[in-house]
């Protein structure tokens, strides 16, 4: 293992998309930002210098940060943000992790443009558990707004209404060649006949799950969220914000140019049509040829397709990569995830949309929770987050008359090395919508998923405890549930939230506090000396 040094200058940069130009916040002037390359067990040092007027913090999404929560990044959870003109050195080790992860700003809505891939190669000399690709390519999917994203969310918070949706999706920063205003701006990957390519796909979009498809080519899924899966073939992948998916693509033709598309998937009926982002792959020497288009794109409500895809994901669970699913459970939790409405006298309809877990709309603290925990500062948070729904729910029934929520900075406490089973139940109080839930600090196993209300007696019997997929972000289906298991072997304070940014903003978030263990390597390390101050 070696030490890798990176420097991230956070700077404004003008960018032109969809025929209009606006200044955006970037890392090193790039959108998407630079890819970080490292190998398993490497120590990564990234110096972040904030040259913009906004507070900044960067999260290394999917990096477990064993005992180094100070480098995790979510503002006011593990650190105070890096203020304008300030610098912070993120220092972490990629212990036992390899695959595609990513990084993004974790404050305000800056992650709209401040994000990039984090590619962790296996240790030197260790092969992939699948045929070695001829080439690898990072594909970052994103969203583009013509107007300023900070202005959009601020306006929405003032009015209490939902924010404007994006004007386009992007593939490696561009809406694509068949959108009127980016004639040559689309991304194109050059391929050689018969060669195999590893596409490392990241969904960095703020608020939308996406379908991803390549015309006339099949995709073999080999990894999700930096964990290997049993390979399977598909023509469409489904990827939620926060998730990463590695696929192999074999260039089975000899010539031509083929369309690549990322189109929105949403169960919610309110979604207006969002543009499909496009790119191409072209066989060498045929960049100028006409594009073979897709015969079809999945409709926005292709839930069965999404379900089949998600259910096809299985841990590799080989001798070398065993699935260590916790079998004995210490904490048996059920959290409802929902949108709700709270009164707001200054808002447009005298009410505002809020979101909650177990009816708690999470309130961000003024100083970082990890600091408060480490230095024993009282009055910042309480440890009484409800382990079960405080009010009766029933997604299938009519809306309850009172679907307001309570506010609080409440955490759920876990003993070091205890095991958790957490059922996340969507209660669809305003509209049915999928919630890609992301847990910091851990990977978890997805042991079950289903429609309707979770039934502990019937559903728990059908859990997959043998080869469930292991990941860091999983969709809770609209009007359904997802069950995950993990071992709390990482001391610190760990955020869990919906990765649809608007839901996080509305309060669909909470945090676990994991105690220190007794052993010498079982406690949070002391904070670095340059840890930002609030």
Enumerate binding residues for ligand C2O (CB under 6 A). 59, 61, 74, 104, 106, 242, 438, 440, 495, 497, 499
Q: Which is nearer to ligand C2O, 372 or 510 (CB)?
A: 510
**Can you name the residues that pair with 196 across neighbouring β-strands?**
250
Tokens standing for 73? 């990044």
CA dihedral 289, 199, 499, 49 (to 10 degrees): -100
Nearer to ligand C2O, 73 or 479 (CB): 73
Closest distance of CB 366 from ligand C2O, Å? 19
Residues paired with residue 247 on neighbouring β-strands, in sequence order: 199, 221
| Cβ-based nearer residue to ligand C2O, 105 or 229 | 105
DSSP code per residue over 98-156: -EEEEEEE-STTGGGTSEEEEEEEPSTTPPPSSPPPSEEEEEEEEEE-SS-HHHHHHHH
Report in angstroms how near the CB of residue 440 gets to ligand C2O at its nearest. Answer: 6
From the CB of 29, what's the least distance to ligand C2O, in Å? 22
Nearer to ligand C2O, 191 or 437 (CB): 437
Alpha helices by DSSP H, listed for 365-445, are 369-374
Q: In what order do the strands lie in the sheet with 196-203?
A: 168-171, 135-144, 196-203, 244-250, 219-224, 227-234
Instruction: Give the separation between CA 259 and CA 138, rounded to whole angstroms.
Output: 17
Comparing CB distances to ligand C2O, the nearer of 61 and 64 is 61
Cα-Cα-Cα-Cα dihedral of 139, 88, 532, 113, to 10°?
Answer: -30
Question: What whole-number distance in Å separates Cα of residue 477 and Cα of residue 433?
Answer: 7
Of 76 and 445, CB closest to ligand C2O? 76
**Are the CB atoms for 239 and 213 separated by under 8 Å?**
no
Q: CB 212 → ligand C2O: shortest distance, Å?
A: 18
Nearest distance in Å: CB 437, ligand C2O: 10
CB of 283 to ligand C2O, least distance (A): 35
How many Cβ atoms sit within 10 Å of the Cβ of residue 216?
15
State which residue, 8 or 258, has the beta carbon closest to ligand C2O: 8
Residue 114 or 189 with smaller CB distance to ligand C2O:
114
In the complex, minimum distance from the CB of residue 503 to ligand C2O, in angstroms, rounded to a whole number? 12
**Least spacing, CB of residue 104 vs ligand C2O, in Å:** 6
Nearest to 60 by CA among 88, 8, 102: 102
The residue sitting closest to ligand C2O, measured at its beta carbon, is 61
Return the beta strands (E) in 346-443 as ranges. 351-357, 360-362, 406-408, 411-414, 419-426, 435-439
Least Å from the CB of residue 395 to ligand C2O: 25
Nearer to ligand C2O (CB atom), residue 436 or residue 527:
436
- To ligand C2O, the closest distance from the beta carbon of 509 in angstroms equals 8
Check if the beta carbon of residue 141 is closer than 8 Å to that of residue 210.
yes
Cis peptide before 32 (omega within 30 of 0): yes
Query: What is the CA 447 to chain-centroid distance, rounded?
Result: 19
Toward ligand C2O, which CB reaches closer, 42 or 501? Answer: 501
């Amino acid at each position: 293992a070696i030490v890798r040094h990176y420097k991230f200058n956070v700077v404004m940069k003008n960018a032109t998309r969809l025929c209009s130009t606006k200044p955006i916040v970037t890392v090193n002037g790039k959108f998407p930002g630079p890819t970080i390359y490292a190998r398993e067990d490497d120590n990564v040092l990234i110096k972040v210098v904030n040259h913009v007027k906004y507070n900044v913090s960067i999260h290394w999404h999917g990096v477990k940060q064993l005992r180094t929560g100070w480098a995790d990044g979510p503002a006011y959870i593990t650190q105070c943000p890096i203020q304008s003109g300030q610098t912070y050195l993120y220092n972490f080790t990629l212990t036992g992790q390899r695959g595609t992860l990513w990084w993004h700003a974790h404050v305000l809505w800056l992650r709209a443009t401040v994000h990039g891939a984090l590619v962790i190669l296996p240790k030197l000399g260790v092969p992939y558990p699948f045929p070695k690709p001829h080439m690898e390519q990072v594909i970052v999917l994103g969203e583009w707004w013509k107007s300023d994203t900070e202005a959009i969310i601020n306006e929405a918070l003032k009015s209490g209404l939902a924010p404007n949706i994006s004007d386009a999706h992007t593939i490696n920063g561009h809406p694509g060649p068949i959108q009127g205003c980016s004639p040559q701006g689309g991304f194109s990957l050059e391929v050689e006949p018969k060669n195999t390519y590893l596409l490392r796909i990241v969904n960095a979009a703020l608020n939308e799950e996406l379908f991803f498809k390549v015309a006339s080519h099949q995709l073999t899924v080999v990894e999700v969220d930096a964990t290997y899966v049993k390979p399977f073939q598909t023509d469409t992948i489904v990827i939620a914000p926060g998730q990463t998916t590695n696929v192999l693509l074999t260039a089975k033709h000899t010539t031509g140019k083929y369309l690549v598309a990322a189109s929105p998937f949403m169960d919610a009926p309110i979604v207006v049509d969002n543009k499909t982002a496009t790119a191409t792959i072209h066989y060498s020497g045929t960049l100028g040829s006409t594009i073979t288009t897709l015969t079809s794109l999945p409709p926005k409500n292709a839930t069965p397709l999404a379900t089949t895809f998600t259910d096809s994901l299985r841990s590799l669970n080989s001798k070398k990569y065993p699935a260590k699913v916790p079998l004995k459970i210490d904490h048996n939790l059920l959290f409802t995830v929902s949108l709700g409405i709270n009164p707001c006298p200054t808002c447009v309809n005298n009410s505002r949309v809020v979101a909650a877990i177990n009816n708690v709309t999470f309130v961000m603290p003024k100083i970082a929770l990890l600091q408060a925990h480490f230095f024993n500062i009282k009055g910042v948070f309480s440890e009484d987050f409800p382990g079960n729904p405080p009010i009766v729910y029933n997604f299938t029934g009519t809306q309850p008359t009172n679907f307001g929520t309570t506010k609080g900075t409440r955490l759920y406490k876990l003993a070091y090395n205890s095991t958790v089973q957490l059922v996340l139940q969507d209660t669809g109080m305003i509209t049915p919508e999928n919630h890609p839930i992301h847990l910091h600090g851990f990977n978890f196993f997805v042991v079950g998923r289903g429609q309707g209300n979770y039934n502990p007696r019937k559903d728990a019997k059908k859990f997959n405890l043998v080869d469930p997929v292991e990941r860091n972000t999983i969709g809770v289906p609209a009007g359904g549930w997802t069950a995950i298991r993990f071992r709390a072997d990482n001391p610190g304070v760990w955020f869990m939230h919906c990765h649809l940014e608007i839901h996080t903003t509305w309060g669909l978030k909470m945090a676990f506090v994991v105690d220190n263990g007794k052993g010498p390597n079982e406690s949070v390390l002391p904070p670095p000396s340059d840890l930002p101050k609030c």
